[in-house]
Structure 1
Amino acid sequence: MPEPAPLAAPLAGLRVALFSGNYNYVRDGANQALNRLVGFLLRQGADVRTYSPVVENPAFEATGPMVNVPSVPIPGRSEYRFPLALSSAARADLAAFEPRVVHVASPDIVGHRAVSWARDRGVPVLASVHTRFETYPRYYNMAFMEPVIEAGLRRFYNRCDALVAPSESMVRVLKDQGMNDDVSLWTRGVDRTIFHPDKRDPAWRRSLGIADEEVVVGFLGRLVMEKGLDIFAATMKALRARGIAHRVLVIGEGPARGWFEDNLSGGIFVGHQSGADLGRAVASMDVLFNPSITETFGNVTLEVMACGLPVVAAAATGSESLVSDGVSGRLVEPGDVAGFADAIESYLANPALARAHGDAGAARAGEFGWDRINQAVADAYLRLIAQKT
Structure 2
Amino acid sequence: MEPSALQQLVVDNYPAARRSLRIACVTETYPPEVNGVAMSLARMVDGLHRRNHDVQLVRPRQDKAQAPEEGTRFHEVLMRGLPIPRYPDLRMGVPSKRALVQLWSTRRPDVVHIATEGPLGWSALQAAQHLKLPVSSDFRTNFHAYSRHYGIGWLHKPIMAYLRKFHNRTRCTMVPTEALRRDLAAAGFQRLVVVTRGVDTQLFNPLRRSAQLRAQWGVQPRQMVVTCVGRLAAEKNLGVLAQAFEAIRQRVPGARLLLVGQGPMQAELQQRCPDAIFAGQRSGEDLAAHYASADLFLFPSMTETFGNVTTEAMASGLPVVAFHHAGAGQLISSGENGVLVPMGDNDAFVREAVALASDAARCQALGGQACATASALDWRDIVARFESVLESVMRDTGPLLRQPLAGVVERPAA
TM > 0.5 fold call? yes
Change (3 A) 1:62 1:361: farther
Change (3 A) 1:172 1:183: same
How many Å separate the matches in 1 of 2:200 and 2:256?
27
Contact map agreement 1:102 1:125 (CA 8 A) in 2:
yes
Deviations 1:333-372 (A, max 9, x none): 3443321221111112222221221121111101100111
State the partner residue of 2:212. Answer: 203
In structure 1, give the amino acid aligned to 2:60. Answer: P
How many Å separate the matches in 2 of 1:94 and 1:177?
33
1:18-33 to structure 2, matched below 5 A, reads 18-33=25-40
How many Å separate the matches in 2 of 1:7 and 1:260?
58
How many Å separate the matches in 2 of 1:127 and 1:269?
36
How many Å separate the matches in 1 of 2:238 and 2:66?
23
Contact map agreement 1:73 1:79 (CA 8 A) in 2:
yes
Deviations 1:246-285 (A, max 9, x none): 2101111233322222222311011122221111110111
Change (3 A) 1:204 1:61: farther
How many Å separate the matches in 1 of 2:373 and 2:143?
28
Q: How far 1:290 moved relative to its partner? A: 0.4
SS of the residue corresponding to residue 122 of structure 1 reads coil
Structure 1 unpaired stretches of 5+: none
Change (3 A) 1:191 1:120: same
Q: How far 1:9 moved relative to its partner? A: 5.1
State the partner residue of 2:62. Answer: 55
How many Å separate the matches in 2 of 1:58 and 1:152?
34
Contact map agreement 2:236 2:302 (CA 8 A) in 1:
yes
Contact map agreement 1:170 1:318 (CA 8 A) in 2:
no
How many Å separate the matches in 1 of 2:102 and 2:132?
17
Deviations 1:51-105 (A, max 9, x none): 1101237999979322122221122322222211115444321221111111011
State the partner residue of 1:259. Answer: 268
State the partner residue of 2:326. Answer: 317
CA RMSD of aligned residues (A): 2.5
State the partner residue of 1:359. Answer: 368
State the partner residue of 2:336. Answer: 327
How many Å separate the matches in 2 of 1:237 and 1:88?
54
How many Å separate the matches in 1 of 2:368 and 2:69?
35
In structure 2, give the amino acid aligned to 1:120. Answer: H
In structure 2, give the amino acid aligned to 1:292. Answer: S
State the partner residue of 1:271. Answer: 280
Change (3 A) 1:204 1:23: closer
How many Å separate the matches in 2 of 1:295 and 1:318?
8
Contact map agreement 1:123 1:388 (CA 8 A) in 2:
no
Contact map agreement 1:24 1:62 (CA 8 A) in 2:
no
1:1-389 to structure 2, matched below 5 A, reads 10-12=18-20, 14-56=21-63, 64-86=74-96, 88-180=98-190, 182-240=191-249, 245-387=254-396
Contact map agreement 1:71 1:84 (CA 8 A) in 2:
yes
In structure 1, give the amino acid aligned to 2:147. Answer: P
Change (3 A) 1:154 1:144: same
Q: How far 1:7 moved relative to its partner? A: 8.2
How many Å separate the matches in 2 of 1:120 and 1:293?
37
Deviations 1:177-224 (A, max 9, x none): 2221x2112211111222111221223212211122211110111222
Q: How far 1:376 moved relative to its partner? A: 0.9
Contact map agreement 1:69 1:90 (CA 8 A) in 2:
no
SS of the residue corresponding to residue 82 of structure 2 reads strand
In structure 1, give the amino acid aligned to 2:213. Answer: W
How many Å separate the matches in 2 of 1:141 and 1:79?
21
- TM-score under structure 2 length normalisation: 0.86
Task: Answer with 222-231 or 253-262: which moved more.
Answer: 253-262
Change (3 A) 1:61 1:261: farther
Contact map agreement 1:132 1:296 (CA 8 A) in 2:
yes
Structure 2 unpaired stretches of 5+: 1-9, 399-414
Deviations 1:276-308 (A, max 9, x none): 111111011111000011211121111111122
Contact map agreement 2:244 2:353 (CA 8 A) in 1:
no
Q: How far 1:241 moved relative to its partner? A: 5.2
Task: Answer with 317-326 or 24-33: which moved more.
Answer: 24-33
SS of the residue corresponding to residue 65 of structure 1 reads strand
- TM-score under structure 1 length normalisation: 0.91
Contact map agreement 2:23 2:109 (CA 8 A) in 1:
yes
Contact map agreement 1:16 1:99 (CA 8 A) in 2:
yes
Q: How far 1:168 moved relative to its partner? A: 2.1
Change (3 A) 1:374 1:150: same
Task: Answer with 278-287 or 63-72: which moved more.
Answer: 63-72
Q: How far 1:22 moved relative to its partner? A: 1.1
How many Å separate the matches in 1 of 2:99 and 2:131?
18
How many Å separate the matches in 2 of 1:9 and 1:56?
39
How many Å separate the matches in 2 of 1:62 and 1:361?
37
How many Å separate the matches in 2 of 1:388 and 1:205?
53
